[in-house]
């Protein structure tokens, strides 16, 4: 059974249709990648899956773990196991990183009927994951993302993912803004999360990341639809040729 099953998803923003009938399925244990030109709707898809309410779903269905994802609020989706690593993580002055993460973790644990974690149990776990991502302890008590560099913000997203242990992780251009060392560290963090009961959806423009996180499937999103799917070799091929051919084919198809 699929963990995520998207059928004919249509999404608009301000009466402007962005996703125009998108189909996608992920099974537990799989890693899929979505590539595609700027503005094709990759982030829109990611945010709709995380239940951002500024997007209007006008058609289609999304089943997550057998449940209707589109009926969920953002916090419910998160508690059910959806995690989005944002393309542009927001800065939240005045809320400490560690405090925020513990609130999030406990909200999710509570939803699942588990005991809340106190600081004594939480901090060692957080420190361990931070070490894995080679993050300095000073980030513990700094405000969420405030004054973080682009790369630090992305690492912080992966740290949150590692702490919250989602069933479905969606990484929206987590590689952009990372230098090669940081990319390796982040990729190692993601790979450590790969497991038979977890699926990962990697949104990226570059083959570079997929060199470290090797996907099972690669999809090309053009103008709100998945226009082509293939194995990891598709990413390599796209790096060579770009999206022009697929875009042209898509235009031809929609015209004809």
Partner 1 sequence: MATATQAIENYAESFRGFEQSAASHDLLWLRQLRQSGFARFGETGFPTTRDEDWRFTSLAAIAQIPFRLARNGHGPLSRNQIDCFRIPGVACQLVFVDGRFSPELSSSGQLPEGVEVASLAAQIARDPGAIEPHLGRHLDLQRDPFCALNTAFLEDGAYVRIRKGVVLGEPIHLLFVSAAHDAPTVCHPRNLIVAEENSQATILEEYVSTGSGATLCNTATELVAGDHAVVSHYMIEREHNQACNISTLRIQQGRSADVSSHSVLAGGALVRNNVHPVLAGEGGECLINGLFIGGGRQHLDNYMLVEHARPHCASRQFYNGILGGHAHGVFHGRIIVHKDAQKTDARQTNRNLLLSDTAQIDTKPQLEIYADDVKCTHGATIGQIDEEALFYLRSRGVDLASARRLLLLAFAGECLDRMKPGPVRVHIEKLIHDSLAQIAHVSHDVPLAPQEAALGEPR
Ligand X SMILES: Nc1ncnc2c1ncn2[C@@H]1O[C@H](COP(=O)(O)OP(=O)(O)OP(=O)(O)O)[C@@H](O)[C@H]1O
Q: Which parts of this chain interact with partner 1 (CB under 8 A)?
A: 50-54, 73-75, 77-79, 83-84, 86, 89-90, 92-95, 100-101, 103-105, 107-108, 111, 143-144, 160, 164
User: Which secondary structure element, helix H or strand E, spans residue 98, and what is its range?
Assistant: helix 97-111
Quick check: 40 binds ligand X (CB under 6 A)? yes
Q: 108, 157 in Cβ contact below 8 A? A: no
Distance CA 226, CA 163 (A): 31
51 binds, among partner 1, ligand X, Mg ion, none (CB under 5 to 8 A by kind): partner 1
Q: Provide the mask over 8-27, with x wherever binding to ligand X is found by CB under 6 A and - wherever it is not.
A: -----xx-x-x---------
Distance CA 256, CA 253 (A): 5
Q: How far is CA 212 from the centre of its chain?
A: 16
Task: Please tell me the count of residues contacting ligand X according to CB under 6 A.
Answer: 14
Q: Which is nearer to partner 1, 2 or 143 (CB)?
A: 143
Kindly state the smallest distance separating residue 243's Cβ from ligand X, in Å: 11
Kindly state the smallest distance separating residue 92's Cβ from partner 1, in Å: 5
Q: 56, 13 in Cβ contact below 8 A? A: yes
| Residues numbered 207-246 forming contacts with ligand X, rule: CB under 6 A | none
78 binds, among ligand X, Mg ion, partner 1, none (CB under 5 to 8 A by kind): partner 1
Kindly state the smallest distance separating residue 41's Cβ from ligand X, in Å: 4
Distance CA 5, CA 23 (A): 8
Distance CA 33, CA 55 (A): 22
Distance CA 154, CA 240 (A): 27
């Amino acid at each position: 059974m699929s963990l995520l099953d998207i059928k004919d998803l249509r999404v608009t923003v301000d009466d402007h249709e962005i996703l125009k009938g998108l189909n996608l399925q992920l099974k537990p244990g799989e890693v899929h990648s979505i590539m595609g030109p700027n503005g094709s709707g990759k982030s829109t898809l990611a945010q709709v899956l995380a239940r951002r309410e500024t997007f209007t779903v006008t058609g289609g269905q999304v089943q997550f773990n057998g449940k209707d994802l589109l009926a969920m609020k953002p916090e419910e989706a998160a508690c059910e196991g959806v995690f989005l690593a944002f393309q542009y993580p927001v800065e939240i002055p005045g809320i400490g990183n560690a405090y925020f993460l513990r609130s999030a973790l406990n909200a999710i644990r509570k939803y699942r009927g588990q005991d809340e974690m106190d600081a004594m149990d939480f901090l060692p776990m957080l420190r361990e994951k931070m070490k894995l991502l080679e993050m300095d302890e000073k980030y513990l008590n700094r405000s969420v993302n405030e004054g973080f560099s682009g790369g630090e913000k992305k690492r912080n997203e992966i740290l949150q993912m590692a702490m919250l242990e989602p069933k479905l992780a969606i990484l929206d251009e987590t590689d952009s803004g990372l230098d090669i060392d940081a990319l390796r560290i982040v990729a190692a963090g993601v790979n450590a999360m790969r497991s038979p009961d977890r699926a990962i959806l990697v949104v990226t423009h570059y083959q570079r990341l997929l060199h470290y996180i090797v996907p099972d499937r690669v999809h090309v999103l053009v103008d709100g639809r998945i226009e082509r799917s293939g194995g990891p070799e598709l990413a390599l091929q796209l790096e060579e040729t770009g999206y022009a051919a697929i875009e042209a084919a898509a235009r031809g198809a929609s015209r004809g």
